[in-house]
Chains A and B, each alone.
Chain A
């Protein structure tokens, strides 16, 4: 190390790295795509990977079915980016999808994530479709669509049913302190008094927090008839478990996010009541075909999440087909215009129609967890 001093050595190293990067960049630009790409921004890792896993199954099967149908001049291809269900990585991922992969259409999930990426999609005219997040505040811009009913509808159904059916006078709420949890808590605060029940206490917990001894102690001291859990992924499992471990025997209530495998199978979740949109896999030919292929491919029954994200893919393919017929280029703006012209789509579960705010209104199904499965109790129409 005598001829070069440290500074020079570092300078050369930086130059080399920069050169390598540029070389790779050039290569990337040269290799062109011959598919219709769309973005998929799911939690592929981390404590919420279970959702990404479920959603992806729906996406992948739908892509297969579309490409086998050969109705488009090119195949469609999903570009997966890991959001980890956190806003910051999601923003980085969305920027990549928009500026590097140049997708006109993206699937997204989780309210906090969606809120964070919506300005990007709106600004750069990329359609975003959410099939999993339920914050009622997700009507966020021209390019943002939800094909899942939002929490105002969900709470509006499950709460009256539970309050009347289980005679709940005092309700405790545990909610994750992010846009989703806060909006669900607000919904509960609005509905509860009208139904004649009291909220005591309502507790916000940090995302990523896994120790709820304090919350459990407070809930136990309040002695409620029911506890509403508004969280997701591993955290909702931990809350459920620690509630029961901590001696809270009250009825557990929750929303659509509770209906995933690991949560259903928790012994401590036995008897919990939650609701989600009602999806009939018998509604039309597409539904039946999808259901049969799903069971064959994955060996399990599809649920509403699977249906929502598969539908998002089918809608994309449908819109692209219409644009191809008119020989219009596939961009975000053109896709959106085609969507507004079409309004109603034939998808899994029947017909779906997007309101002006980009939301849907569908029948809701109330379930109770019995022996590791969600048993439907009743269906409520909007």
Chain B
């Protein structure tokens, strides 16, 4: 019984990870940018939602819209101010990584200065558990699963059935060729960052109701998103979603017998195993340029 309860919680957590990972994977596969600051998008959206709800007393719908705007602005902004200039100088992967990491460090610490190191959470009908027979699950968890179940297929539909998606996949395959055909990929890069950043918003808005938010969450979330993407297969968005789900379930079921202190080690342990034994991930194809 405990096992099934933990599994349920794992699926809820995995749904959140999947959303964030899908955003990261979308950005990476189309623009080849290792967007380390992706977790900051999540944290900013969560704080924006919390602050506008608690301090400014906005209506939740307005708060969600604010969170979404801030997420998109941040993602697109970092791309415009940091990544794009570096692309022009043909900066290497590691240079981009270092800069992206620098942005993560600066942003997280700005959050600490503004909000302090304390932990914020929201209480309400969403956070309270509801009993379904032997199980207890909160509405927030259920909402997260539902949103993931709807939005992730939506992203996949966009990728495979729309013109925009075709461009995205073309960029993922061969960026230079796309340019040759006269399409400026700049606009699509911006769109990729916008949509990728938007993906985290549902998880971010629900976060204060589930585990709560602290500045350090940004770093953890980024790492989990990267882990999920790599485990799923670096070029596959569906893989990233699967990877996120797998990590969520593994973490929560893993503590069935272990103490919860081991949660981060479980996720990163799985990541290390994949990196060493099967770097292409679950759904990644062999031989793709990384």
Contacts and interface: CB of A to CB of B under 8 A. Distances in A.
A78 to B, nearest CB: 23
Nearest to A235: B119
A80 to B, nearest CB: 17
Contacts of A9: none
Interface residues of A, number: 29
Interface string A205-231: 110111111111110110000000000
Contact of A214 (B6, B119, B129, B138): B6
A203 interface: yes
A370 interface: no
Nearest to A267: B123
A49 interface: yes
Contacts of A234: 118-119
Given A211-B211, A214-B6, A45 B259 contact: no
Given A205-B260, A246-B129, A238 B255 contact: no
Contact of A211 (B2, B136, B138, B210): B210
A214 B211 contact: no
Contacts of A215: 260
B116 A46 contact: yes
Contacts of B263: 214
Contacts of B261: 177, 204-206, 209
Given A49-B118, A238-B121, A210 B127 contact: no
Contacts of B6: 214, 217
Contacts of A210: 119, 121, 211-212, 214
A193 interface: no
Given A206-B260, A211-B211, A247-B131, A220 B5 contact: yes
Contact of B118 (A47, A177, A216): A47
B29 interface: no
| Chain B CB within 10 Å, residue with most, of A177, A204, A209, A214 | A214
Contacts of A241: 121, 123
Nearest to A266: B123
Nearest to B5: A217
A6 B58 CA distance: 51
Given A204-B261, A238-B119, A247-B129, A211 B212 contact: yes
B136 A246 contact: yes
Contacts of A205: 260-261
Contact of A84 (B117, B127, B128): B117
Interface string B1-40: 1100110010000000000000000000000000000000
Contact of A220 (B127, B136, B212, B216): B136
B252 interface: yes
A245 interface: yes
| Chain B CB within 10 Å, residue with most, of A45, A46, A220 | A220
Interface string A228-258: 0000001000100100011100000000000
B127 A221 contact: no
Interface in A151-165: none
A220 B5 CA distance: 10
B136 A238 contact: no
Contact of B260 (A46, A203, A245): A203
A214 B117 contact: no
Contacts of A217: 2, 5-6, 9, 136
Contacts of A46: 116-118
8 contacts: A209-B260, A213-B210, A221-B2, A238-B119, A238-B121, A245-B129, A245-B138, A246-B129
Interface of A: 45-47, 49, 84, 177, 203-206, 208-218, 220-221, 234, 238, 241, 245-247
Interface of B: 1-2, 5-6, 9, 116-119, 121, 123, 127-129, 131, 136, 138, 210-212, 214, 216, 252, 255, 259-261, 263
